[in-house]
Each structure stands twice: as C-alpha cells, then as structure tokens.
Structure 1
C-alpha cells in the first residue's frame, strides 16, 4: 500500500510523541523510586502541625483537626495506654512513648513515594501526649495525574494539528514538482514552477526550472540537428537524382555528360564527408570513443599538417608564416591532427588570394598555446557565439560550394574538450580571424 509523504510525516510525529511520553513516564518512575520520596515533606508538615497544636488551646484542638481533615490530614492526640486510632498496634506506637525528643517519626514501615503515611510526634505539649497523623494525598496525586494526562493529550492533539499544517507545507511543493515532472514527461518542456520560497524547496524548484530550460534548449538543438542533417543529405541526393535521370533520359548531350558526372561524383564525396563527420561526432559524444594519449612533438605535427595542405595554400598563393618551438605534449595524436587539419583548412578556405596565414606557438611552464591566424574577411560579431554549433555556417553559399557542412569546428571543439583543453576565437570583420588552442603541459 502506497503511503503519502504527509501520512509518513504525521505518523512519525505521533510515534515520536508517544515514545517520548512513555519514556518520560518510565524515567520519572525510575527516578522517583530511586531518588524522590515524600518522607521529608510528611515529616515537615507533621512538625508544623504539632507546633500549631502546641500553641492552640486544648479545647480548640478538635476544631483544628476538623479543618485539617478537609485537606485529607487526620489526627488524634493520645496518651500511653489510651485507645489507638487508625488500627494501630501497641508495637507501632511504642516508639512514641520511648522517644526522648519531640521529633516526628513514621509509625509505618513503608518506604518510597507512598502517598498515605502514619506519623507520630512524641510529647507535643510536655505532658506526655503524643500526636498521631494520617496523611492521605492519594486524591491529590490522582487529580494531578489526570491533569497531566489531559494536558499531554491536548498537547498531542494540538501538535498533530500543527504537524498536519506543516506536512501540507512540505508536501505541497513536492506534489507540484511531481505534477510538473509528469507534464514534462508528456513532451511539454515549457512547464515552469512559479514560487517565492527561499528555502531548500525553492532551490529544488529553481533547479527544476533550470533543468526544464536546458532540456528545452537540447530539444531545440535536436530539432535543428535533424533538420540540418535532412537538408545536408537531401541537397546532394536531389542533385544526384536529377542529373542521373537527365543522363538516363538523354536530356544531357553526350559531350556534356562528363561534366555532370563530375558533379555527381563531387556530391557523393560530399555525402561521404558528411557521413564521416556525423559518425565522428556521434563517437565523440559517446563515452566509448577510442582515446589513446601518447607523448609526441607538437611542432612536428603542425609542420606535417601544413605540408599536407600545401596544394591548397599554394593554389591561392598564400604565405605561411611559422613560429614553432620544440614542445612535447601528451594527447591523442590522431584526434589532434584532425583539429589542426580543420583549423588550417578553414584558414585557407576563408583567406583571400595572396593572403597570409600565421601559425605561432607560445610555450610556458603550464601550457602551450597555438595561434592560427588568417587575413580573411573575418567573422561578424553576431556569428561568433555560434561558430562551434553543429551545421552553423557563416557564409552558407561559400561553405557549401567548397564542400563544407558546418561540422568541422564542432568536431574540433569536441576533441579539444575531450582532452580537457581549451579553444578560443577572436575575429575582426574585414581583417581576419585567430583561433587559439591551449594545451596543458
């Protein structure tokens, strides 16, 4: 059977209260048995009454005793050999007539917190008369116990009512969170919780709202990703389909078919490149991507990547300026080679003819920083926050004509983050762009 949080809170409170009551009674009883007795109080009261009777005229003593009986204190003044009250025996009262002082003494042998006691005071008026008192506080103690029990019961009722209110205060935000979570599970990521709480529940609701916002962003990214992938795949497929149908149906003359076959070939390369990039991103996103860090010379790797790209930068008559230092790093060699290829190819792609590309290394005791700077047209400030987003292209027409798909920088950043490194970009429109990769040593 499912128990609500409210029921658990109230039940816990009641159990704690009841357990506390039982423990209190038990501890009180134990304490009373060991430490607390009424003997001293009985003796004090008896001594005061004896003094009062000693000061009272013998003819008025009966009236005093009648008044004391209203307080459950009964007494009698006896002499040796007279009739004994309260069913006492000669043996029990003999200490009264043998005592040489007038100090009160108990005539019964019971010990402990007994509310009914028989006490005698020898020679109360120096005439040989002794006072015997029977004190019965049973009724008083019963009344006090009833008052105590009623008070505890009222405390339990009031406490239960207050804990119900407190439970509602505690459970209500939990129920709101549960309802919002169920709403979100249906696909509604716009749900938010409004509140004015400053406690832990307020923090929990703020965290829920932040989670919902992040999920909404991720969902939007997913939708954009699917849309972009569909577009990137559909565009070359449409070209391939159109040209193959035209060639098959004889619409394109034979002397121009080679040109269109080249276009079909380039589109297949574009699809293959897109497929490779998507697989690389999916692998990097997973927790099982192969990662094999080794120690190697970073400067040699950069020289090799630039050398491989020589046909691209010589075609545009670009000057490559290098300022490299011998620097060993520990990283995944193949993955970082992908980073440098993407960054350098981008610098070549977006540089104008006769431009300059600089590759500079800065090395200190903590890290090595690699700056790759071009003299291209730069990136507009509005586009800078998005250049690492998947499928984001500043100049879509130029990127697609060059076979780009907007995934290169996303892959580069993913690889850099996988190594706990950092990639930054600075750009001035019309002057060029600088990418900086920082690698801890």
Structure 2
C-alpha cells in the first residue's frame, strides 16, 4: 500500500507539472522542431498515422461485417437445430445431463410448455410464435443482434414441449476482439520499428550528401561520395559527384584564368615600367629613346587589346550581351574582310584565292565580322612569305560552310584540342611578339556557339591548316 501511495503521489506531481502551459508549449515546440528538422521523424510519424488510420477503418469494417454477417445467424439456428435433434434422440431422464454438457460451451437450454413458466426473462408475447400451427424450424426470440441470442425450437418431441436455447458467445467475441486488437497493435509496433529502420536506410545517404556538401562549402572540391546504389538515391549521388567534378574543373579554369590574366598583364606592365624608368633616369641615349617609346606604345596597345578581349568574353559569357541577328549577304562580308586586311597579306606577298557564292544568312553581322577578322588575321600571321590563303564557301540543304585555309606552319596534334582554350598559345614567343594573348579563338568559338553553329580545325603537312565554320540554315 505504501508503494502504491508513493507511485500515485509521483504520478500526480508529474501530471500537475505537465499540465502547466509553459511546459506544454515547450514540449510542443521541441516536437515541432524535431518534425521540421528530421526527415526520419517525419517518415516515422507519417507511417504511424497512416497505420493508425488504416487500423481504425479496418477494425470498424471488421466489426460491421461481423455484425451483419448472414452466415453467423444461420450458424445460431444450425446450433439450435442440432441441439434439438440431439435432445430428441436422448432419453428424457438424461436430457439435463446433455444440457449441462452444452453449458460448458455457453449454450443453456430450458423446456417449456404453453402457459408454463418462461426462462431467461421472456414474455408470452415473445414466445407466442413457437405455438403457431405447423411451425417446425427454430426461430429467434430476441431481435437484438449480439453475442447473446435466444432461440426457440418448437415441439421437439411431439409432446407439446418446446426448447428455448440461450447461446452466449460473449466470451468468444471478447476473446476474438482481444486477439484482433493484439494483432493490430502488434502490426502497429512491428511496422513502426520496421519503418524506423527503413527510414534510417533512406536518411543515411541524405546525411552523407549533407556532409559532402559541407566539405565542398569548405573548399574541398575533390570530395566524392562512394556508393553502390542503383536507385534514385544512387542517381542523386552520381549527380552530386558529377556536379563536384564540374565545379572542380571550373575552379581549375578560374585559377588558370587568373594566373594567365595576371601574367599577360604583368609582362607589358613590367616592360613599360622598366623602359620608362630607364628613359627617366637618362640611361637610354636620346637617339634611342624613340625606339623604346615605340615599344612602350606597342605594349600599351597590347594591354588595351587584352582588356577589350576580356570585356568582350565577359559580355559573351553573360546573358545580357546585345544580340541583333539580321539577314545579309555572307559572301559580300567575306570580301570586305579580305579587302580590309589587304595591307597585312600584301606585306607578306600572299596569294588570296576566293571561291564564294551569293548567299544570305541571318546572324549578328557585327559579331561574325569579328569571327572572320580573327580567322583571316590568324591565317595571315601564320602563313609563310609568298604563301596562299583560300576562303571557300559551300552550301547544301542543311548548312553553309566557310573554309579559311593557309599553307603555313601547321598546328601540332598535341595542341589541336586546346587551341580554343582561353590564353592557350601554340607558339608563345611568336604570339607575344605579334601582340597575341590567346583569346582570339576563344572569342570566335563563343560567337559561333551563340549562333548554334560549329567550328572545326584540320592541320597537317599535306593540307595545311583549315578552319571550317558551319552555319545551319
């Protein structure tokens, strides 16, 4: 008794503590945070709610069907009929023994005669159907449907006696209901445990992805997730690894870009600073100053060209670059570019061969002028004295092709895959001396791609170097 009082007192204090509004709010806040911050908790609670709803409806449907089951009513009547048959075959002095035996199965019976005492609180009105003439089949004497049914069997031994049976399946129904509830509760508990295990299996890869994302946020772009999954989670991890690879490539390109830009800017600045300091200090004689001033001027032009190219590339990379496609004669544009560069190819005594045909295209005219200017200038720059440059147009049903070819120095095979990379120069010494900075072909490729076109290059000793721009119709 003392222990019970202590437990009751403790429970009372706990309930009083939990009934405080601040405690209820704190518990609710913690549960809310757990649900919002844990996918595993969300999955578990969602599954539990679904199971509870399913169990509730299943239990209700089972009860409804059991109460309305017609075959159950027939079983009651069959029990009464078989019991009456058994008693009819039994001697009158042993019928009480048979009824006592049946009572162990919750079946109680009493014999009545018309006008006699009625058992089980029955009334004359309820048993009157038993005395109808010609009635031979058992019938229900109580209209309530439940585990206790009163069944009357008329004239079982042709002596005017009728049998009233009380079939009580209350214990059986309660046992079955208890088994059903235990089974449903077991399903709930086992299902909840299994879903918690399954949620752990599902959430664990998400945690690994979160850890990997945090590693990348710290700058560790080489971090990869190893897995053997083939499902949607595996696809997500593959996508994450692919994203990490691309980011690592972009980061390396950025570092290379910054390094190249710094180098390209530092070289002319160093030359300008050195020559200006030498002239200022009087180290260079007056008669040689003009030559060095010309070098300084060329280096400033090189810086200006580098700045223009960087700004142009940045503009082309953005989505805000002005884009004004117009329809015009492509062959006329190519002729104008050849004429504009005449001082350059005439100075090297180059032979220019044009094979053009009248054809109109719809592209940004200013941007493609820069494409032809860069390609033709490169062809002139890398052509030998008295060499030849060919500009050829070809048109078919799908695209127009422009080939710009020269027979000068070829591009080594090892350099071909990289010639469109930014700041990449095949002959760095010659490019620097000619004012190059490795951005011209990058700009060309960017412009061509903006027009959904394509540029290819072939370079070998037999054919020379040929750049081909294909513009889809």
Instruction: Give me the TM-score of the superposition, normalised by structure 1.
Output: 0.97
Residue 371 of structure 1 corresponds to 403
1:154 correspondence with 2:186: yes
Match of residue 87 from structure 1 = 121
Structure 2: runs of 5+ lacking an equivalent: 1-32
Q: Determine whether 1:56 maps to 2:90.
A: yes
After superposition, the Cα gap between the structure-2 partners of 1:429 and 1:193, relative to the gap in structure 1 and judged at 3 Å, is farther
Structure 1 residue 215, shift from structure 2 partner: 0.5
- Which residue does the alignment assign to 2:255? 223
Tell me if 1:109 matches 2:143.
Answer: yes
Deviations 1:160-179 (A, max 9, x none): 11111100110000000001
Equivalent residue for 1:413, pick from 435, 445, 452: 445
Q: Which has the higher contact order (CA 8 A, sep 6+)?
A: 1
Please state if 1:45 is matched with 2:95.
Answer: no
CA contact (8 A) 1:76 1:85 kept: yes
Mapped partners of 2:153, 2:51: distance in 1: 46
The question of whether the paired residues in 2 share the 8 Å contact of 1:355 and 1:376 is answered with yes
CA distance in 1, matches of 2:302, 2:291: 17
Match in the other structure for 1:323: 355
**Alignment partner, residue 388 of structure 1:** 420
Separation of aligned partners in 2, 1:218 and 1:99? 102
Q: Tell whether the 8 Å contact from 1:376 to 1:431 is kept in structure 2 after alignment.
A: no
Residue equivalent to 1:342: 374
Deviation at 1:423, TM superposition (A): 0.9
Displacement, 1:39?
Answer: 2.4
Q: Offset of 1:355 from its aligned partner?
A: 1.2
CA distance in 1, matches of 2:330, 2:79: 102
3-state SS of paired residue (1:389): coil
* 2:423 aligned with 1:398: no
2:100 maps to 1:66? yes
Equivalence for 1:100: 134
Q: Deviations over 1:88-139 (max 9, x none)?
A: 22222222122412100111232x4x11111101011122111100011111
Q: Distance in 2 between the 1:315 and 1:431 partners? A: 24
Number of aligned residue pairs: give it: 439
> Residue in 2 aligned with 1:27?
61
1:184 aligns with 2:221: no
Could you tell me how far 1:82 is from its partner in structure 2?
2.7
**Offset of 1:318 from its aligned partner?**
1.0
Distance 1:297 1:344 in 2: 18
What is the RMSD of the two structures over their aligned residues, measured on CA atoms? 1.4
Which piece of structure 1 moves more, 425-434 or 215-224? 425-434
Equivalent in the alignment of 1:435: 467
Moved more, 81-90 or 129-138: 81-90
Q: Which residue of 2 aligns with 1:277?
A: 309
Q: Secondary structure at the match of 2:174?
A: helix
CA–CA separation in structure 1 for the residues paired with 2:151 and 2:90: 20
C-alpha separation in 2, matches of 1:429 and 1:279: 36
Give the 3-state SS of the residue equivalent to 2:37 in structure 1.
coil
Give me the whole-angstrom Cα distance separating, in 1, the residues matched to 2:141 and 2:294: 128
The whole-number CA distance in structure 2 between the counterparts of 1:40 and 1:250 is 127
CA distance in 2, matches of 1:32, 1:131: 27
1:132 is paired with a residue of what secondary structure?
strand
Matches of 1:104 and 1:118, distance apart in 2: 10
Question: Alignment partner of 2:328: what SS?
Answer: strand
> 1:380 touches 1:429 (CA, 8 Å); kept in 2?
no
For residues 308 and 461 of structure 2, the distance between their equivalents in structure 1, rounded to whole angstroms, comes to 31
Q: CA deviation at 1:80?
A: 2.1
How far, CA to CA, are the matches of 1:144 and 1:34 in structure 2?
17
- What TM-score do you get using the length of structure 2 for normalisation? 0.90
Quote the residue 1:8 is aligned against.
Answer: 42
Cα deviations by residue, 1:58-79 (Å, 9 ceiling, x for unpaired): 2221111111111111001222
How far did 1:323 drift?
0.9
Q: Deviations over 1:289-334 (max 9, x none)?
A: 0000000011111111111011111111111111111110000000
